[in-house]
A and B are shown apart, each in its own frame.
Chain A
Amino acid sequence: MARYPKPPEGSWTEHYELGTEPMSYEDSISPEFFELEREAIFKRAWLNVGRVEQLPRNGSYFTKELAVARTSVVIVRGREGEVRAFHNVCRHRGNKLVWNDFPKEETSGISRQFVCKYHGWRYDLDGSCSFVQQEQEFFDLDKADYGLVSVHCEVWAGFIFVNLAQEPEQSLTEFLGPMVTALENYPFHLQSERWFYRSPVNANWKLYLDAFQEFYHAPVLHARQTPPEFSAAAQQAGFEAPYYGIDGPHRVVSTAGIHPWNLPPNLLKPMEILTRSGLFGPWDAPDLNFEQKPAGLNPAECDPWGLDSFQIFPNFVILIWGQGWYLTYHYWPTSASQHIFEGTLYFVPAKTARERVAHELAALSFKEYGHQDANTLEATQTMLESRVLDRFPLGDQEVLCRHLHKVAGDWVDDYQRELAEAKR
Protein backbone atom coordinates (compact mmCIF):
# COMPACT_ATOMS: atom_id res chain seq x y z
CA MET A 1 0.00 0.00 0.00
CA ALA A 2 1.80 3.10 -1.23
CA ARG A 3 1.94 6.05 1.17
CA TYR A 4 2.65 8.49 -1.62
CA PRO A 5 1.02 8.67 -5.03
CA LYS A 6 3.08 7.25 -7.91
CA PRO A 7 3.13 8.85 -11.36
CA PRO A 8 0.31 7.90 -13.75
CA GLU A 9 2.47 5.18 -15.37
CA GLY A 10 2.31 3.28 -12.07
CA SER A 11 5.95 3.74 -11.06
CA TRP A 12 8.75 6.32 -11.09
CA THR A 13 10.89 3.90 -13.13
CA GLU A 14 8.32 3.66 -15.93
CA HIS A 15 7.51 7.35 -15.68
CA TYR A 16 11.13 8.16 -16.53
CA GLU A 17 11.26 5.33 -19.12
CA LEU A 18 14.28 3.66 -17.58
CA GLY A 19 13.19 0.06 -18.23
CA THR A 20 12.14 -2.36 -15.52
CA GLU A 21 14.32 -5.34 -16.44
CA PRO A 22 17.11 -6.52 -14.12
CA MET A 23 20.29 -4.45 -14.46
CA SER A 24 23.91 -5.34 -15.17
CA TYR A 25 26.65 -3.97 -12.92
CA GLU A 26 29.40 -4.77 -15.43
CA ASP A 27 30.02 -1.00 -15.67
CA SER A 28 31.18 -1.06 -12.04
CA ILE A 29 33.71 -3.87 -12.31
CA SER A 30 35.15 -3.57 -15.83
CA PRO A 31 38.59 -1.91 -16.02
CA GLU A 32 37.96 -1.30 -19.74
CA PHE A 33 34.75 0.58 -19.00
CA PHE A 34 36.56 2.63 -16.36
CA GLU A 35 39.21 3.67 -18.89
CA LEU A 36 36.39 4.90 -21.14
CA GLU A 37 34.75 6.77 -18.25
CA ARG A 38 37.96 8.76 -17.73
CA GLU A 39 37.72 10.21 -21.23
CA ALA A 40 33.98 10.16 -21.87
CA ILE A 41 32.79 11.48 -18.52
CA PHE A 42 35.49 13.00 -16.32
CA LYS A 43 37.30 14.88 -19.08
CA ARG A 44 34.03 16.26 -20.46
CA ALA A 45 31.65 17.00 -17.58
CA TRP A 46 31.79 19.97 -15.23
CA LEU A 47 33.35 18.77 -11.96
CA ASN A 48 32.82 20.51 -8.64
CA VAL A 49 36.11 21.05 -6.83
CA GLY A 50 34.99 23.15 -3.87
CA ARG A 51 33.42 26.40 -2.74
CA VAL A 52 34.38 30.05 -2.92
CA GLU A 53 34.69 30.22 0.89
CA GLN A 54 37.83 28.07 0.47
CA LEU A 55 39.36 31.07 -1.33
CA PRO A 56 38.71 33.81 1.23
CA ARG A 57 41.23 36.37 -0.07
CA ASN A 58 42.88 37.44 -3.30
CA GLY A 59 45.83 35.07 -3.66
CA SER A 60 44.10 32.21 -1.80
CA TYR A 61 44.53 28.91 -3.59
CA PHE A 62 43.95 25.18 -3.18
CA THR A 63 44.94 22.16 -5.23
CA LYS A 64 42.70 19.29 -6.26
CA GLU A 65 44.00 15.90 -7.28
CA LEU A 66 42.00 14.54 -10.22
CA ALA A 67 43.51 11.07 -10.48
CA VAL A 68 40.62 9.98 -12.70
CA ALA A 69 41.84 12.44 -15.34
CA ARG A 70 45.51 11.86 -14.42
CA THR A 71 46.01 15.50 -13.50
CA SER A 72 46.09 17.93 -10.61
CA VAL A 73 44.61 21.40 -10.77
CA VAL A 74 45.27 24.53 -8.78
CA ILE A 75 42.34 26.85 -8.12
CA VAL A 76 43.27 30.42 -7.25
CA ARG A 77 41.60 33.74 -6.52
CA GLY A 78 43.40 36.41 -8.54
CA ARG A 79 44.26 40.02 -7.78
CA GLU A 80 40.82 41.25 -8.82
CA GLY A 81 39.00 38.51 -6.95
CA GLU A 82 38.32 36.33 -9.99
CA VAL A 83 38.54 32.55 -9.60
CA ARG A 84 40.78 30.70 -12.09
CA ALA A 85 41.98 27.12 -12.52
CA PHE A 86 45.19 25.79 -14.03
CA HIS A 87 46.74 22.42 -14.56
CA ASN A 88 49.18 22.15 -11.67
CA VAL A 89 52.26 21.72 -13.85
CA CYS A 90 55.34 23.89 -14.45
CA ARG A 91 55.86 24.78 -18.13
CA HIS A 92 59.60 24.18 -17.91
CA ARG A 93 60.04 20.44 -17.43
CA GLY A 94 56.68 19.32 -16.15
CA ASN A 95 57.22 19.33 -12.40
CA LYS A 96 54.13 19.59 -10.25
CA LEU A 97 53.98 23.29 -9.41
CA VAL A 98 52.08 23.56 -6.08
CA TRP A 99 52.55 20.91 -3.39
CA ASN A 100 54.00 20.46 0.10
CA ASP A 101 56.04 17.54 1.40
CA PHE A 102 54.06 14.87 -0.46
CA PRO A 103 53.52 15.48 -4.18
CA LYS A 104 50.23 13.57 -4.26
CA GLU A 105 48.63 15.34 -1.29
CA GLU A 106 46.35 18.32 -1.72
CA THR A 107 47.37 21.64 -0.24
CA SER A 108 46.04 25.17 0.20
CA GLY A 109 47.29 28.58 1.22
CA ILE A 110 47.74 32.16 0.13
CA SER A 111 50.44 33.47 -2.17
CA ARG A 112 51.39 36.39 -4.44
CA GLN A 113 52.74 34.02 -7.09
CA PHE A 114 53.60 30.37 -7.68
CA VAL A 115 57.27 29.34 -7.70
CA CYS A 116 58.35 25.94 -9.00
CA LYS A 117 60.41 24.04 -6.43
CA TYR A 118 62.62 22.56 -9.14
CA HIS A 119 64.27 25.46 -11.05
CA GLY A 120 62.45 28.46 -9.65
CA TRP A 121 60.27 29.47 -12.60
CA ARG A 122 57.57 31.84 -11.37
CA TYR A 123 53.96 32.36 -12.37
CA ASP A 124 51.60 35.20 -11.60
CA LEU A 125 48.16 34.44 -10.12
CA ASP A 126 46.70 34.91 -13.62
CA GLY A 127 48.92 32.08 -14.83
CA SER A 128 51.40 34.18 -16.81
CA CYS A 129 55.07 33.22 -16.54
CA SER A 130 56.81 36.10 -14.74
CA PHE A 131 60.34 34.82 -14.20
CA VAL A 132 62.69 32.30 -15.74
CA GLN A 133 65.85 31.47 -13.83
CA GLN A 134 68.90 32.27 -16.02
CA GLU A 135 66.61 33.26 -18.86
CA GLN A 136 69.63 34.15 -21.08
CA GLU A 137 70.61 30.43 -21.21
CA PHE A 138 67.44 29.54 -23.15
CA PHE A 139 66.88 29.61 -26.90
CA ASP A 140 64.37 32.09 -28.35
CA LEU A 141 62.25 31.71 -25.23
CA ASP A 142 59.40 34.18 -24.89
CA LYS A 143 57.87 34.00 -21.40
CA ALA A 144 54.52 35.04 -22.90
CA ASP A 145 54.38 31.59 -24.56
CA TYR A 146 54.93 29.77 -21.27
CA GLY A 147 51.98 30.65 -19.05
CA LEU A 148 50.26 27.94 -17.02
CA VAL A 149 47.80 25.74 -18.91
CA SER A 150 44.39 27.06 -17.96
CA VAL A 151 41.38 24.89 -17.17
CA HIS A 152 37.82 26.06 -17.81
CA CYS A 153 36.48 27.25 -14.48
CA GLU A 154 33.03 28.62 -13.61
CA VAL A 155 31.26 29.40 -10.36
CA TRP A 156 27.58 28.75 -9.64
CA ALA A 157 25.98 29.64 -6.27
CA GLY A 158 29.46 29.71 -4.75
CA PHE A 159 30.35 26.22 -6.03
CA ILE A 160 33.53 26.15 -8.13
CA PHE A 161 33.49 23.82 -11.12
CA VAL A 162 36.20 22.93 -13.62
CA ASN A 163 35.92 21.32 -17.04
CA LEU A 164 38.95 19.57 -18.52
CA ALA A 165 37.69 19.62 -22.12
CA GLN A 166 39.47 21.81 -24.66
CA GLU A 167 36.10 23.47 -25.25
CA PRO A 168 33.21 22.42 -22.98
CA GLU A 169 30.11 21.54 -24.95
CA GLN A 170 27.92 23.52 -22.55
CA SER A 171 28.38 26.41 -20.14
CA LEU A 172 28.16 25.41 -16.48
CA THR A 173 24.59 26.65 -16.03
CA GLU A 174 23.47 24.94 -19.25
CA PHE A 175 25.06 21.75 -17.98
CA LEU A 176 23.42 22.03 -14.53
CA GLY A 177 20.01 22.62 -16.07
CA PRO A 178 16.84 24.10 -14.56
CA MET A 179 16.34 21.52 -11.79
CA VAL A 180 19.69 22.29 -10.17
CA THR A 181 19.96 26.00 -10.98
CA ALA A 182 16.59 26.53 -9.29
CA LEU A 183 18.60 26.29 -6.05
CA GLU A 184 20.55 29.43 -6.97
CA ASN A 185 19.00 31.52 -4.18
CA TYR A 186 19.40 28.95 -1.41
CA PRO A 187 21.66 30.63 1.21
CA PHE A 188 24.65 28.32 0.84
CA HIS A 189 26.94 31.25 1.66
CA LEU A 190 25.48 31.66 5.17
CA GLN A 191 26.49 28.09 6.03
CA SER A 192 30.24 28.48 6.28
CA GLU A 193 31.00 26.20 9.25
CA ARG A 194 32.71 23.41 7.37
CA TRP A 195 33.40 19.80 8.39
CA PHE A 196 35.42 17.88 5.81
CA TYR A 197 35.67 14.07 5.85
CA ARG A 198 37.60 11.81 3.54
CA SER A 199 37.70 8.05 3.13
CA PRO A 200 39.32 5.69 0.65
CA VAL A 201 36.65 3.21 -0.44
CA ASN A 202 37.30 -0.15 -2.06
CA ALA A 203 34.42 0.07 -4.49
CA ASN A 204 33.57 1.61 -7.83
CA TRP A 205 32.52 5.27 -7.55
CA LYS A 206 29.02 4.55 -8.87
CA LEU A 207 28.31 2.03 -6.11
CA TYR A 208 28.65 4.69 -3.42
CA LEU A 209 26.48 7.08 -5.43
CA ASP A 210 23.93 4.27 -5.58
CA ALA A 211 24.15 3.77 -1.81
CA PHE A 212 23.24 7.39 -1.16
CA GLN A 213 20.62 7.80 -3.89
CA GLU A 214 18.28 5.18 -2.51
CA PHE A 215 17.00 5.03 1.06
CA TYR A 216 15.49 1.54 0.65
CA HIS A 217 18.53 0.31 2.61
CA ALA A 218 18.18 2.73 5.51
CA PRO A 219 15.76 0.86 7.80
CA VAL A 220 17.83 -2.34 7.43
CA LEU A 221 21.53 -1.43 7.20
CA HIS A 222 21.23 1.28 9.84
CA ALA A 223 18.70 -0.49 12.08
CA ARG A 224 20.97 -0.59 15.10
CA GLN A 225 21.61 3.17 15.02
CA THR A 226 18.21 3.79 16.59
CA PRO A 227 16.34 2.37 19.62
CA PRO A 228 14.67 -1.02 18.91
CA GLU A 229 11.16 0.45 18.96
CA PHE A 230 12.10 3.00 16.31
CA SER A 231 13.94 0.47 14.13
CA ALA A 232 11.07 -2.01 14.27
CA ALA A 233 8.59 0.65 13.18
CA ALA A 234 10.91 1.85 10.41
CA GLN A 235 11.41 -1.65 9.02
CA GLN A 236 7.71 -2.40 9.22
CA ALA A 237 6.94 0.76 7.28
CA GLY A 238 9.81 0.40 4.78
CA PHE A 239 10.98 3.43 2.87
CA GLU A 240 9.10 5.40 0.27
CA ALA A 241 10.15 8.70 -1.23
CA PRO A 242 7.38 11.14 -2.08
CA TYR A 243 9.28 12.45 -5.08
CA TYR A 244 11.98 11.51 -7.57
CA GLY A 245 13.09 14.02 -10.21
CA ILE A 246 15.30 13.68 -13.24
CA ASP A 247 16.64 16.50 -15.41
CA GLY A 248 19.16 15.54 -18.08
CA PRO A 249 22.02 13.66 -16.41
CA HIS A 250 21.05 14.90 -12.91
CA ARG A 251 18.66 13.49 -10.31
CA VAL A 252 16.91 14.43 -7.08
CA VAL A 253 15.21 12.44 -4.35
CA SER A 254 13.13 14.21 -1.74
CA THR A 255 12.03 12.69 1.55
CA ALA A 256 9.55 13.42 4.28
CA GLY A 257 10.98 14.20 7.70
CA ILE A 258 10.12 13.81 11.33
CA HIS A 259 9.92 16.25 14.19
CA PRO A 260 12.02 14.34 16.72
CA TRP A 261 11.00 16.70 19.51
CA ASN A 262 7.45 15.38 19.14
CA LEU A 263 8.45 11.70 19.38
CA PRO A 264 8.05 9.71 22.60
CA PRO A 265 11.44 9.39 24.38
CA ASN A 266 11.65 5.62 23.83
CA LEU A 267 12.05 6.27 20.09
CA LEU A 268 15.04 8.54 20.66
CA LYS A 269 18.56 8.10 21.97
CA PRO A 270 19.26 9.87 25.28
CA MET A 271 22.07 11.86 23.59
CA GLU A 272 19.63 13.20 21.00
CA ILE A 273 17.35 14.50 23.73
CA LEU A 274 20.25 15.92 25.73
CA THR A 275 21.83 17.82 22.83
CA ARG A 276 18.62 18.43 20.83
CA SER A 277 20.27 17.06 17.70
CA GLY A 278 20.81 13.92 15.64
CA LEU A 279 21.34 12.57 12.14
CA PHE A 280 18.78 14.95 10.64
CA GLY A 281 20.54 17.89 12.26
CA PRO A 282 20.01 20.27 15.17
CA TRP A 283 16.40 20.35 16.38
CA ASP A 284 16.59 24.12 16.69
CA ALA A 285 17.07 25.14 13.07
CA PRO A 286 18.89 28.40 12.32
CA ASP A 287 17.11 31.27 10.63
CA LEU A 288 18.25 31.11 7.02
CA ASN A 289 16.48 34.35 6.14
CA PHE A 290 14.54 32.89 3.24
CA GLU A 291 12.72 35.68 1.52
CA GLN A 292 11.12 32.93 -0.47
CA LYS A 293 11.81 29.19 -0.46
CA PRO A 294 13.95 28.39 -3.54
CA ALA A 295 11.67 26.92 -6.17
CA GLY A 296 13.54 23.63 -6.45
CA LEU A 297 13.33 22.68 -2.78
CA ASN A 298 10.91 20.24 -1.16
CA PRO A 299 9.14 19.48 -4.46
CA ALA A 300 6.51 17.25 -2.81
CA GLU A 301 5.83 19.96 -0.22
CA CYS A 302 6.26 17.59 2.69
CA ASP A 303 5.57 18.86 6.17
CA PRO A 304 7.70 17.98 7.95
CA TRP A 305 10.22 17.85 5.15
CA GLY A 306 13.30 15.63 5.53
CA LEU A 307 15.80 16.37 2.82
CA ASP A 308 16.43 16.87 -0.89
CA SER A 309 19.43 15.05 -2.30
CA PHE A 310 20.56 16.45 -5.65
CA GLN A 311 22.80 14.05 -7.59
CA ILE A 312 24.77 16.23 -10.00
CA PHE A 313 26.43 14.19 -12.73
CA PRO A 314 28.91 12.73 -12.59
CA ASN A 315 30.19 12.63 -9.01
CA PHE A 316 28.78 15.49 -6.93
CA VAL A 317 25.86 15.55 -4.50
CA ILE A 318 24.27 18.48 -2.70
CA LEU A 319 22.01 17.27 0.10
CA ILE A 320 19.88 19.97 1.72
CA TRP A 321 18.29 19.11 5.06
CA GLY A 322 14.93 20.45 6.16
CA GLN A 323 16.56 21.39 9.47
CA GLY A 324 18.60 24.21 7.89
CA TRP A 325 21.99 22.79 6.97
CA TYR A 326 23.47 20.99 3.99
CA LEU A 327 26.19 18.60 3.00
CA THR A 328 28.01 17.62 -0.15
CA TYR A 329 29.45 14.33 -1.34
CA HIS A 330 32.19 13.84 -3.89
CA TYR A 331 33.27 10.49 -5.31
CA TRP A 332 36.72 10.66 -6.94
CA PRO A 333 37.54 7.45 -8.82
CA THR A 334 41.08 6.11 -8.62
CA SER A 335 40.48 2.78 -10.38
CA ALA A 336 37.59 0.59 -11.51
CA SER A 337 37.28 -0.80 -7.98
CA GLN A 338 38.40 2.12 -5.79
CA HIS A 339 37.60 5.74 -5.14
CA ILE A 340 38.11 8.52 -2.62
CA PHE A 341 34.90 9.58 -0.89
CA GLU A 342 34.61 13.11 0.47
CA GLY A 343 31.78 14.29 2.69
CA THR A 344 31.52 17.96 3.68
CA LEU A 345 29.01 19.27 6.21
CA TYR A 346 28.00 22.93 6.24
CA PHE A 347 26.21 24.70 9.09
CA VAL A 348 25.43 28.30 9.91
CA PRO A 349 28.40 28.96 12.23
CA ALA A 350 27.54 28.11 15.83
CA LYS A 351 27.22 31.23 17.94
CA THR A 352 26.85 29.49 21.29
CA ALA A 353 28.36 26.46 23.00
CA ARG A 354 24.96 24.78 22.93
CA GLU A 355 24.65 25.20 19.17
CA ARG A 356 28.19 23.92 18.69
CA VAL A 357 27.44 20.82 20.81
CA ALA A 358 24.36 20.14 18.65
CA HIS A 359 26.56 20.28 15.53
CA GLU A 360 28.96 17.79 17.11
CA LEU A 361 26.25 15.12 17.44
CA ALA A 362 24.92 15.73 13.91
CA ALA A 363 28.45 15.42 12.51
CA LEU A 364 29.28 12.29 14.50
CA SER A 365 25.98 10.69 13.43
CA PHE A 366 26.96 11.34 9.82
CA LYS A 367 30.27 9.57 10.47
CA GLU A 368 28.67 6.54 12.15
CA TYR A 369 26.22 6.05 9.26
CA GLY A 370 28.87 6.75 6.62
CA HIS A 371 31.13 4.04 8.05
CA GLN A 372 28.39 1.47 7.67
CA ASP A 373 27.66 2.54 4.11
CA ALA A 374 31.32 2.55 3.04
CA ASN A 375 32.16 -0.86 4.42
CA THR A 376 29.11 -2.47 2.86
CA LEU A 377 30.31 -1.26 -0.54
CA GLU A 378 33.49 -3.30 -0.29
CA ALA A 379 31.31 -6.35 0.34
CA THR A 380 29.31 -5.52 -2.79
CA GLN A 381 32.30 -4.79 -5.02
CA THR A 382 34.09 -8.04 -4.25
CA MET A 383 31.07 -10.18 -5.02
CA LEU A 384 30.11 -8.27 -8.17
CA GLU A 385 33.65 -9.04 -9.32
CA SER A 386 33.05 -12.75 -8.80
CA ARG A 387 30.64 -12.49 -11.77
CA VAL A 388 28.56 -15.28 -10.19
CA LEU A 389 25.58 -13.06 -10.99
CA ASP A 390 25.17 -10.71 -13.91
CA ARG A 391 21.61 -9.42 -13.56
CA PHE A 392 20.19 -7.60 -10.56
CA PRO A 393 16.54 -6.63 -9.95
CA LEU A 394 16.07 -3.00 -8.86
CA GLY A 395 12.92 -1.76 -7.19
CA ASP A 396 11.11 1.49 -7.82
CA GLN A 397 12.81 3.12 -4.78
CA GLU A 398 16.08 2.42 -6.63
CA VAL A 399 15.03 4.34 -9.73
CA LEU A 400 17.87 6.84 -9.43
CA CYS A 401 20.51 4.06 -9.43
CA ARG A 402 19.09 2.90 -12.74
CA HIS A 403 19.32 6.42 -14.13
CA LEU A 404 22.96 6.97 -13.09
CA HIS A 405 24.14 3.79 -14.80
CA LYS A 406 22.13 4.60 -17.91
CA VAL A 407 23.63 8.10 -18.14
CA ALA A 408 27.18 6.81 -17.60
CA GLY A 409 26.57 4.28 -20.39
CA ASP A 410 25.11 6.95 -22.68
CA TRP A 411 28.11 9.25 -22.22
CA VAL A 412 30.51 6.38 -22.95
CA ASP A 413 28.47 5.41 -26.04
CA ASP A 414 28.51 9.02 -27.30
CA TYR A 415 32.26 9.21 -26.81
CA GLN A 416 32.89 5.96 -28.65
CA ARG A 417 30.62 7.01 -31.51
CA GLU A 418 32.44 10.33 -31.89
CA LEU A 419 35.77 8.54 -31.78
CA ALA A 420 34.65 6.15 -34.52
CA GLU A 421 33.36 9.03 -36.66
CA ALA A 422 36.61 10.95 -36.24
CA LYS A 423 38.58 7.95 -37.48
CA ARG A 424 36.48 7.62 -40.61
Chain B
Amino acid sequence: MTDALLPSEFSDLEPFAAKWSLATEQERYMERLSSSMEEMQALYDAVTDRAEEAMAYCDKFPLDDMPADALNLMRLLYSMIMVSFPVEVWGQPRIPDTGAAYLDLLVEPIP
Protein backbone atom coordinates (compact mmCIF):
# COMPACT_ATOMS: atom_id res chain seq x y z
CA MET B 1 0.00 0.00 0.00
CA THR B 2 2.97 2.34 -0.51
CA ASP B 3 1.02 4.08 -3.28
CA ALA B 4 -1.90 4.86 -1.01
CA LEU B 5 -2.99 8.49 -1.04
CA LEU B 6 -4.95 8.30 2.21
CA PRO B 7 -4.13 7.13 5.74
CA SER B 8 -4.60 3.35 6.07
CA GLU B 9 -7.59 3.82 8.42
CA PHE B 10 -9.43 5.33 5.46
CA SER B 11 -8.54 2.75 2.81
CA ASP B 12 -12.25 2.34 2.02
CA LEU B 13 -12.15 5.90 0.57
CA GLU B 14 -9.01 5.21 -1.47
CA PRO B 15 -10.97 4.60 -4.73
CA PHE B 16 -12.17 8.24 -4.60
CA ALA B 17 -8.86 9.88 -3.77
CA ALA B 18 -7.23 10.01 -7.21
CA LYS B 19 -10.23 11.82 -8.72
CA TRP B 20 -11.28 14.01 -5.80
CA SER B 21 -8.29 14.79 -3.54
CA LEU B 22 -7.65 18.04 -5.41
CA ALA B 23 -5.63 20.95 -4.09
CA THR B 24 -7.71 23.96 -5.14
CA GLU B 25 -11.36 24.91 -5.06
CA GLN B 26 -11.18 25.74 -8.75
CA GLU B 27 -10.06 22.18 -9.55
CA ARG B 28 -12.80 20.71 -7.37
CA TYR B 29 -15.44 22.91 -8.97
CA MET B 30 -14.32 21.91 -12.49
CA GLU B 31 -14.37 18.25 -11.43
CA ARG B 32 -17.93 18.71 -10.19
CA LEU B 33 -19.03 20.27 -13.49
CA SER B 34 -17.56 17.39 -15.48
CA SER B 35 -18.85 14.56 -13.24
CA SER B 36 -22.09 12.62 -13.37
CA MET B 37 -24.64 12.71 -10.57
CA GLU B 38 -23.92 8.99 -9.96
CA GLU B 39 -20.22 9.71 -9.41
CA MET B 40 -20.97 12.56 -7.03
CA GLN B 41 -23.62 10.60 -5.13
CA ALA B 42 -21.11 7.76 -4.61
CA LEU B 43 -18.47 10.16 -3.29
CA TYR B 44 -20.99 11.94 -1.08
CA ASP B 45 -22.32 8.70 0.43
CA ALA B 46 -18.88 7.26 1.09
CA VAL B 47 -17.26 10.38 2.58
CA THR B 48 -20.19 11.64 4.66
CA ASP B 49 -20.24 8.19 6.25
CA ARG B 50 -16.64 8.65 7.43
CA ALA B 51 -16.54 12.47 7.75
CA GLU B 52 -16.71 12.62 11.53
CA GLU B 53 -13.79 10.20 11.86
CA ALA B 54 -11.88 11.97 9.08
CA MET B 55 -12.19 15.36 10.81
CA ALA B 56 -11.12 13.82 14.11
CA TYR B 57 -8.10 12.25 12.35
CA CYS B 58 -7.06 15.50 10.64
CA ASP B 59 -7.53 17.46 13.86
CA LYS B 60 -4.52 15.61 15.29
CA PHE B 61 -2.16 17.61 13.04
CA PRO B 62 -1.37 21.31 12.86
CA LEU B 63 -2.92 22.80 9.71
CA ASP B 64 0.39 24.18 8.49
CA ASP B 65 2.23 20.90 8.89
CA MET B 66 -0.03 18.08 7.76
CA PRO B 67 1.34 14.78 6.45
CA ALA B 68 0.54 14.27 2.76
CA ASP B 69 -2.02 11.53 3.40
CA ALA B 70 -3.92 13.60 5.97
CA LEU B 71 -3.89 16.52 3.55
CA ASN B 72 -5.42 14.30 0.88
CA LEU B 73 -8.10 13.33 3.37
CA MET B 74 -8.82 17.02 4.05
CA ARG B 75 -9.16 17.61 0.32
CA LEU B 76 -11.57 14.72 0.07
CA LEU B 77 -13.67 16.42 2.76
CA TYR B 78 -13.59 19.62 0.68
CA SER B 79 -14.80 17.65 -2.35
CA MET B 80 -17.58 16.14 -0.25
CA ILE B 81 -18.68 19.71 0.47
CA MET B 82 -18.27 20.66 -3.21
CA VAL B 83 -20.64 17.90 -4.38
CA SER B 84 -23.10 18.44 -1.53
CA PHE B 85 -24.96 21.16 -3.46
CA PRO B 86 -25.62 18.99 -6.54
CA VAL B 87 -26.50 16.02 -4.34
CA GLU B 88 -28.56 17.73 -1.63
CA VAL B 89 -30.35 20.48 -3.53
CA TRP B 90 -29.70 20.92 -7.26
CA GLY B 91 -29.99 17.42 -8.72
CA GLN B 92 -27.45 18.53 -11.33
CA PRO B 93 -23.78 19.61 -11.28
CA ARG B 94 -24.40 23.25 -12.19
CA ILE B 95 -26.33 25.77 -10.16
CA PRO B 96 -29.70 26.10 -11.95
CA ASP B 97 -30.38 29.24 -13.97
CA THR B 98 -26.79 30.40 -13.92
CA GLY B 99 -26.06 30.10 -17.63
CA ALA B 100 -22.46 30.96 -18.40
CA ALA B 101 -21.86 32.87 -15.16
CA TYR B 102 -18.75 32.05 -13.20
CA LEU B 103 -17.28 33.30 -9.95
CA ASP B 104 -13.65 32.25 -9.71
CA LEU B 105 -11.90 31.77 -6.39
CA LEU B 106 -8.46 33.30 -7.00
CA VAL B 107 -7.04 33.35 -3.45
CA GLU B 108 -7.87 30.72 -0.82
CA PRO B 109 -6.31 29.57 2.44
CA ILE B 110 -3.76 26.77 2.24
CA PRO B 111 -4.43 24.02 3.04
Residues of A in contact with B (beta carbons under 8 Å apart): 193-199, 201, 224-226, 269-271, 274-275, 341, 343, 349-354, 356-357, 359-361, 363-364, 367-368, 370-372, 374-376, 378
Contacts and interface: CB of A to CB of B under 8 A. Distances in A.
Interface in B5-20: none
Interface string B66-96: 0000000010011011101100111000011
Contact of B107 (A194, A341, A351, A378): A194
Given A353-B58, A353-B61, A356-B63, A274 B101 contact: no
Contacts of B111: 356
Nearest to B52: A274
A356 B74 CA distance: 9
Contacts of A376: 97
B108 interface: yes
Nearest to B101: A375
A353 B63 contact: yes
B55 A360 contact: no
B82 A364 contact: yes
B51 interface: yes
A391 B61 CA distance: 59
Given A197-B105, A353-B77, 8 more contacts: A196-B105, A224-B90, A271-B81, A271-B84, A352-B63, A359-B109, A360-B78, A371-B101
24 contacts: A196-B105, A196-B108, A197-B105, A197-B106, A198-B106, A199-B102, A224-B89, A226-B89, A269-B88, A270-B48, A271-B80, A343-B103, A350-B63, A352-B63, A353-B63, A357-B55, A357-B78, A359-B109, A361-B81, A363-B25, A364-B85, A368-B95, A371-B102, A375-B99
Contacts, number: 107
B103 to A, nearest CB: 4
Contacts of B48: 270-271, 274
Query: Which of B58, B78, B109 gathers the greatest number of chain A CB atoms within 10 Å?
Result: B109
A367 B111 CA distance: 19
Interface of B: 25, 48, 51-52, 55, 58-59, 61, 63, 74, 77-78, 80-82, 84-85, 88-90, 95-99, 101-109, 111
Contacts of A193: 109
Contacts of A361: 81, 84
Contact of A371 (B88, B89, B95): B95
- Interface SS majority for chain A: helix
A199 B104 contact: yes
Nearest to A201: B101
B89 A353 contact: no
B57 to A, nearest CB: 8
B98 A367 contact: no
Contact of A354 (B55, B97, B107, B108): B55
A372 B81 CA distance: 18
Contacts of A375: 97-99, 101
Contact of A367 (B52, B74, B103): B103
Given A350-B63, A378-B99, A197 B104 contact: yes
Given A199-B101, A199-B102, A357 B81 contact: yes
B104 A198 contact: yes
Given A224-B90, A371-B98, A275 B81 contact: yes
A350 B62 CA distance: 10
Nearest to B95: A371
A194 B107 CA distance: 7
B33 to A, nearest CB: 12
A197 B51 CA distance: 27
B18 to A, nearest CB: 20
A312 B59 CA distance: 39
Contacts of A226: 89
A343 B74 CA distance: 24
A351 B63 contact: yes
A363 B106 CA distance: 13
Contacts of B108: 195-196, 363
B60 to A, nearest CB: 9
B88 A353 contact: no
Nearest to B66: A353
Contacts of B74: 353, 356-357
B55 A195 contact: no
Given A224-B89, A360-B81, A372-B95, A274 B51 contact: yes
Which 3 A-B residue pairings sit nearest by Cβ, starting from the closest? A353-B58, A196-B107, A271-B84
